[in-house]
Structure 1
């Protein structure tokens, strides 16, 4: 969602009652020379994630900043004899934990994620759903081609999630390990790969048709328990006779995004 969405989600991830302590933690770390290097390290990390990361990536910074904020609160409370401030802060955070726990941790059953809107609000929760079912769909496509064709067939997944699911659940269904041009999977392609058929998972249908002498749509990834994630609706295709051999096109397929 970009930097604006990243910043907008921080109060939700930190918690509305914890947020003041989070800000006080920044002040504490930068106001005291002994802790300033820790503050600088936290700030650089936060800005890096703001530029290129997801909203929950700076989560490990929260305990550090809240702990520093608690020390600052203790000093302020002692100075002004606000002894109740700590009790109020502790009670508020307990209340916050009770309310926010289902959002912060995957406690809601899979079947209820869509009903409560968590598949859209917490897309990382949605991304945990549907992998075994996706692999079953790929296995159906693979088993519909002859054993002779299977020997010259590879499975090409659009991203590491699809490839990882196929590698985890696929062997018991008779599937070979998947290939993927995504992130480190790109490096794991066997050398001198010569294949006649490619089962593509998640790639754009029009792009697959352009890349193959014969391309057939063999399935569409289905939602499980109505949970909507980025896999739902993407095609599973059988590409026969790629126009450019996979070995040759592999550098152009690389995706490190």
Structure 2
């Protein structure tokens, strides 16, 4: 009775929101924290208008979640759950706005839900999850403007574009695409008063972050430069496109490829050329900029509704073809999905996908949240035992140093119940370092390749107190975690930061 009150398109959206939430909650029950999540959770304890590696929005979300003062995986993913539900909602609404009926909405949401890459990036507490949301809301606003010519949607586009900019700077590729498309097809937009009001609001919203960037000598530019030098310039774009096709579920290509490269040039979709051509340009710009495969997901998500509406119209008298294709897509997606989010138990995942030990006896897994709970518990036990065995006067001046930011973040989040001292790292954006003198006692955690001699550069006394094996490591450097007790620091905190920072 309830669903009869609403058109079938909205019923499909409601059902998929529910299914998506169930899948996410199931995955949360089977996993721990992904390594990068610790950095963003820690950033929530140090609110600022910017950080070296990312804009401030993720830290604002973390600050709110941190109010619960818990290491619960569920609580620390509350915003992911909300963002995922809203992304499904706006993907469905965008499909409807483009003229799609229930079958097109069904096809769109199947593609979104059963893409292991899209599901995986939405599941983790990383900027990518919220970046995708703001992209699709901006695309919805653009489609709404194309349909109604109501200029208020230009203002909403600018508002959500600003929120997207404060989430992940890569949304500038959408802006570049929209600017290019507008200059070619819709120059009349620049005469709209609402556009300039929206742009003014955009500037007001992003100004605090811009001021922070200026004050700190544009660390975002430095970060991008380092990223290109260390990673992006070495990428094979053919390889990245291959990963994009695989991780977005190969059977979704039939929808998003035409959505990007055919719809902009089909006369029946002339009304929506502004947004369709903008997405096409965004894809090309990202490709030229050597974006990683998962950088393309927001563009793909925006293109899928265009493709599903196109095929719904094209095959309206032969819908059985769409039914058959969606069945294949669904079955394939069900098989692939656990490789994106942990909706099945770890051991079952290893058995089902025939994960075999490598030459070193490790079973390499791509996502460490599959096994992180066990690893961090074992590391915490070693660190806690070392700490409580220290004399009381040394406990008072003890700190924990993580060679990688995930190690420090994990100690601060998960170590509360042990009463452990403050942990810090000088890796990436983990810049929050306590002050201490040369009398400080440091419990240091590093990867396999960080041996005693590395720490000996900074301390007069170094003792290895434990090795925690990681049987699921995918890199040799992660085969073990080594824990050291270090005393006789050769520098104070200021000098130490300058020497060890990387």
Scaled by the length of structure 2, the TM-score of the pair is 0.44
Distance 1:157 1:12 in 2: 34
Q: What does residue 38 of structure 1 align with? A: 279
Q: Give the alignment's Cα RMSD to 1 decimal.
A: 2.9
Q: Is this contact kept in 2: 1:159–1:180, CA < 8 A?
A: yes
Q: Retained in 1: the 8 A contact 2:365–2:474?
A: no
- Tell me, yes or no, if structure 1 residue 22 matches structure 2 residue 256: yes
TM-aligned CA deviation for residue 29 of structure 1: 5.7
CA distance in 1, matches of 2:401, 2:349: 29
Tell me which residue corresponds to 1:144. Answer: 389
Q: 2:403 aligns with which of 158, 168, 189?
A: 158
Gaps of 5+ in 2: 1-230, 357-362
* CA shift in 2, pair 1:234/1:147, >3 Å: same
| 1:59-100 deviations in Å (ceiling 9; x for gaps) | 44433222222233335446xx65443223322221122211
Pairs within 5 Å for 1:68-217: 68-77=306-315, 83-115=319-351, 116=353, 117=355, 120-126=364-370, 128-129=372-373, 130-186=375-431, 188-190=432-434, 192-194=435-437, 195-202=439-446, 204-205=450-451, 206-217=453-464
Aligned partners of 2:389, 2:285: CA distance in 1, in Å? 52
Q: Write out per-residue CA displacement over residues 169-204 of structure 1, whole angstroms, 9 at most, x where no aligned residue.
A: 212112012101123321x113x4324221111151
Supply the distance in 2 between the matched residues of 1:124 and 1:47 (Cα, whole angstroms): 31
Q: Is the 8 A contact 2:398 2:421 kept in 1?
A: no
Match of 2:182 in 1: none
Residues in 2 aligned to 1:156 and 1:30: alpha-carbon distance in whole angstroms: 53
Uncovered stretches (5+) of structure 1, i.e. residues with no partner: none
**Which secondary structure state, in structure 2, belongs to the residue aligned with residue 216 of structure 1?**
strand
2: CA distance, partners of 1:38 / 1:160? 35
Contact 1:25 1:66 in 2 (8 A): yes
1:3 maps to 2:243: no
Task: Confirm or deny: 8 A CA contact 2:412 2:423 kept in the other structure.
Answer: yes
Contact 1:29/1:38 (<8 A) preserved: no
Flag the structure with more relative contact order, 1 or 2, with Cα contacts below 8 A and sequence separation at least 6.
2
Change (3 A) 1:47 1:110: farther
Which secondary structure state, in structure 1, belongs to the residue aligned with residue 235 of structure 2? helix
Partner Cα separation in structure 2 for residue 43 and residue 143 of structure 1 = 57
Q: What is the number of residues matched between the two proteins? A: 246
Q: Which residue of 1 aligns with 2:64?
A: none
The change in CA–CA distance for 1:38 and 1:56 in structure 2 (over 3 A counts) is closer
Structure 1 residues 18 and 136: CA distance shift in structure 2, 3 A: same
* Contact 1:126-1:228 within 8 A present in 2 as well: no
